[in-house]
Amino acid sequence: MLKLNKISLASIGLFVGGILFVVGFWAYAKGNSTLNLIGFFYGFPILLGGFAFKSSEVKPVPVVVALSDEVLNLRKAQETSTQKQLRQDVTRYRYGIKAHLDEVLEKLGMSPTDEERPILVGIYEEISQAEETKGAYSLVLRFRSPLIDFATWQQKQDKLTRFFGPGIVAVVAELENKEFDLRLISEIPAVIGA
């Protein structure tokens, strides 16, 4: 099944607009006024639209760990609407934003400037292994954050839980190379505290 949100609208606009525009030039050279009009009057605006989309395009974030059947089944049972929306938003082409989750980071006070903003570099799903949340579904967002340190991430952990909640516990883990995993763990009463 073809997923339209996985296709770049900018690339489609550039391709279709480019073909129509070239056909318009070819028709002009051959004296075919009908094709000439179609090529210029449709091709040029579509081509410009493709360039405009390309300039504001944010590519989907890669999945850094393959999804297992066990995690997929757990996702179906425990995924919250917030986790689902986040997963769908960051794994598709987006337009008119600076970066994935830029508004979220700004609201949380973790994006004082564009240069300091953590960049979402990957996403994956797992079964939580932490003692307090063992067996719960977890959506993990991997950020590269060279200018915001781990202490700041930890200070924001409660705020992250409140922001993405209800039904979610946010846990931050430090990795190498100024990268951090933000785990958004489903807070399922039957699992948590069992």
Spatial CB neighbours of 90, under 8 Å, sequence gap ≥ 6: 60, 61, 100, 101, 120, 123, 141
- Looking at the chain, the whole-number percentage of residues with pLDDT higher than 90 is 9
Find the mean pLDDT for residues 103-117: 80
What ranges do the domains of the chain cover?
4-55, 58-186
Q: How far apart are CA 185 and CA 140, in angstroms?
A: 8
State the fold for domain 58-186.
Threonyl-tRNA Synthetase; Chain A, domain 2 (3.30.980)
Higher pLDDT, 116 or 76: 76
Q: What ranges make up the beta strands (E) of 23-136?
A: 57-58, 94-95, 119-127
